[in-house]
C-alpha cells in the first residue's frame, strides 16, 4: 500500500506563475516531511522540509504547507522559473527508531514554460 | 568534491550475471541507504545501514545483498541479475540526528537483458 501519494504525474505552468505540487500520506506515524528535486541524470537534492508541529515553512520562493488533519502537504513555488523544471518528490519519515528512513512518493514532473 | 560517489554510472548485464554497485561517501555520515528508481514508482528503499556494522532490509530487498565495508563504503550486490532489476540505483548517506541530511549520489543506470 502506497503510504505517500503524489497523484499528479505532471504539471505545466507558465514562467512567473505559481506552481502547486500536492502530496498525501496515509501513515499517522510520519512526523517529518520533505521535498526533493531531481534533474535528469542526477541524484535527488533536498529542497525544503517541515515538521509535523508546524503548518508552514518558507524558504525564498518555496513554501511547504502541512494539513495534518487531512494528511496533506503541498509545495508552492512563486514565481516559477524555467530552471525549476524537474521531478519533485515528496518524502516522509517517522521517529521512534525508524532511523529516519524516507518513504517517497512517485514524483511529479514540473515543466515551467518560458 | 565532498559527497556520495557511485560506480559504475552505467552497466549492462546479462540475465544471471552478478555484479556489485559501489558507493562511498566522504562526509563522515553514519547512515547509508540504497534506493532504486523505476518509472512511475518513485524511489524505493532496498537496504540501509544505520551505522557501521549494521544492515537492514528496506521495502524491496529480494535479489540483493549489501555490505557496509567501513564507515565510508556501502556496496550493493546482485548475485543473479534479472530483467526486473533493470533500474536506476541511488546511494544516499545521512548524518546522525540530522533529518534533512540525505545526500544522494548521481546514480547507476543498470540494464539487465
Q: What is the pLDDT of residues A36-78, one digit of tens each?
A: 999 998 999 999 999 999 999 999 999 999 999 999 999 999 9
Tell whether B89 lies on the interface with A, counting CB pairs under 8 A.
no
CB pairs under 8 A between A and B: 58
Q: Residue A35 has which C-alpha cell?
A: 521535498
> B113: pLDDT confidence band, cut at 50, 70 and 90?
very high
Residue A11, pLDDT score: 97
- B8, B2, B6, B58: which is closest to B29 by C-alpha? B2
Phi, psi of A84 (to 5 degrees): -80, -10
- A18, A34, A22: which is closest to A77 by C-alpha? A18
Nearest CA in chain A to B88: A41
Round to whole Å and give the CA distance between B77 and B54: 16
Region B29-35 average pLDDT: 93
Q: How far is B104 from chain A (nearest CA, A)?
A: 5
Q: How far is B105 from chain A (nearest CA, A)?
A: 5
- B72, B88, B74, B2: which is closest to B33 by C-alpha? B74
Q: How far is B40 from chain A (nearest CA, A)?
A: 6
Chain A residues within 8 Å of chain B (Cβ atoms): 4, 6, 9, 32, 34, 36, 41-46, 49, 89, 91, 93, 99-107
Residue A95, pLDDT score: 67
Q: What is the pLDDT of residues B49-103, one digit of tens each?
A: 988 889 999 999 999 999 998 999 999 999 999 999 999 999 999 877 666 768 9
Best residue in B32, B42, B51, B59 for a mutation probing chain A (most A CBs within 10 Å)? B42
| Model confidence at A96: pLDDT above 60 | no
Nearest CA in chain B to A5: B42
Q: How many CA atoms lie within 13 A of A93 on its CB side?
A: 21
Provide, as residue numbers in chain B, all residues whose Cβ is less than 8 Å from the Cβ of A24.
Answer: none
Average pLDDT, chain A: 93
Round to whole Å and give the CA distance between B106 and A47: 16
Amino acid at each position: 500500500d502506497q503510504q505517500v501519494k503524489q497523484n499528479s504525474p505532471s504539471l505545466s505552468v507558465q514562467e512567473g506563475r505559481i506552481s502547486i505540487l500536492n502530496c498525501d500520506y496515509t501513515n499517522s506515524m510520519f512526523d517529518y516531511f520533505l521535498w526533493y528535486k531531481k534533474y535528469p541524470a542526477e541524484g535527488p537534492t533536498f529542497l525544503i522540509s517541515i515538521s509535523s508541529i508546524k503548518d508552514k515553512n518558507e524558504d525564498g520562493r518555496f513554501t511547504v504547507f502541512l494539513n495534518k488533519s487531512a494528511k496533506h502537504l503541498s509545495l508552492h513555488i512563486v514565481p516559477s522559473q524555467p530552471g525549476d523544471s524537474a521531478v519533485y518528490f515528496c518524502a516522509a519519515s517517522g521517529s521512534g527508531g525508524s532511523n529516519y528512513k524516507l518513504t517517497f512518493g512517485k514524483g511529479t514532473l514540473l515543466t515551467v514554460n518560458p | 568534491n565532498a559527497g556520495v560517489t557511485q560506480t559504475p554510472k552505467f552497466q549492462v548485464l546479462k540475465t544471471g550475471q552478478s555484479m556489485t554497485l559501489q558507493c562511498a561517501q566522504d562526509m563522515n555520515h553514519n547512515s547509508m541507504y540504497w534506493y532504486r528508481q523505476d518509472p512511475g514508482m518513485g524511489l524505493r528503499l532496498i537496504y540501509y545501514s544505520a551505522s557501521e556494522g549494521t544492515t537492514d532490509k528496506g521495502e524491496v530487498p529480494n535479489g540483493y545483498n549489501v555490505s557496509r565495508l567501513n564507515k565510508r563504503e556501502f556496496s550493493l550486490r546482485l548475485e543473479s541479475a534479472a530483467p526486473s532489476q533493470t533500474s536506476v540505483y541511488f546511494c544516499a548517506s545521512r548524518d546522525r540526528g540530522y533529518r534533512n541530511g540525505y545526500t544522494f549520489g548521481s546514480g547507476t543506470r543498470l540494464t539487465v537483458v
